[in-house]
Amino acid sequence: MKTIVLLITGMLLSVCVSAQHRAVYGNVRLSDDLKLSNIVVKAKKAGTVTMTDSLGNFVIVCNKKDVLQFEAKTFEKVSKRVRPSTDTVLVQMRFVSGPESVQLAVGYGYISQDKATHAQSMLDNQKNDFCSYTNIFDLIDGRCAGVMVNNISAVPGGEQEVIIRGRNSIMLSNCALYVVDGIVVSQIADIPPCQVRSINILKDASASIYGSRGANGVILIETFK
């Protein structure tokens, strides 16, 4: 009887431990069209480790509440908090400043040689100063190609929206989905341009990671936290 009780207890414990873990999928990139391979992904609490594939994709088993750490030489370290509702994670890496950063990234296999020129332009963009813009919408309008900022309020300085594609519906909203530091938000008007680290535009297949919410495209904003 004691043996049976121990076996049942062990089985229940195993189920409980398994219930605390889940798989999280994600993608690591420099930009929408420049994915990063061989980036090390660690789940801090679960202790699991994996690497991104040639398309920047990864899947990792972690705790329901965990912290994913992304590390690679020549790039700044990135941490992303995983919540019970988190299924996918999109990560944008940044170069550590240095004249040889791009070639080192090629040498380590993070990017291919044919992407080196594009990667160099990304490194140069890191030096851009966004503080010259009066608000976040002026910044997006001035720096992001293929977008349109519309005033949806007749009041000067009123509510605005960002549209990546042309209007598709008269009745439904065509506003892009806003994602700030990995979190979906309803508005971005209160973000000072000086606090913006980077802005990326996702559309079509790249925005599908957000499901139907990304149907009008996605504005990814990373701030200096």
- The tokens of 97 are what? 């400043």
Domain with CATH 2.170.130.10 in the chain: 128-225
Residue 96 DSSP code: P
19 vs 92 pLDDT, higher one: 92
How far, in Å, CA of 162 to CA of 144, rounded? 11
Share of the chain above pLDDT 90, in %: 33
Question: In this predicted structure, what is the pLDDT of residue 16?
Answer: 44
Domain with CATH 2.60.40.1120 in the chain: 22-127
Question: In this predicted structure, what is the pLDDT of residue 223?
Answer: 83
Closest listed residue to residue 74, CA positions, set 49, 95, 46: 95
Domain 128-225 has what CATH class?
Answer: mainly beta
- Per-residue CA distances from 172 to 167, 169, 187, 204 (Å): 9, 5, 17, 18
136-168 tens-digit pLDDT: 999 888 877 778 888 766 555 567 888 886 545
Q: Which amino acid is it at 174? A: N
The architecture that CATH gives domain 22-127 is Sandwich (2.60)
Question: In this predicted structure, what is the pLDDT of residue 166?
Answer: 56
Mean pLDDT of the chain: 82
pLDDT > 90? residue 111: yes
- The tokens of 73 are what? 């030489």
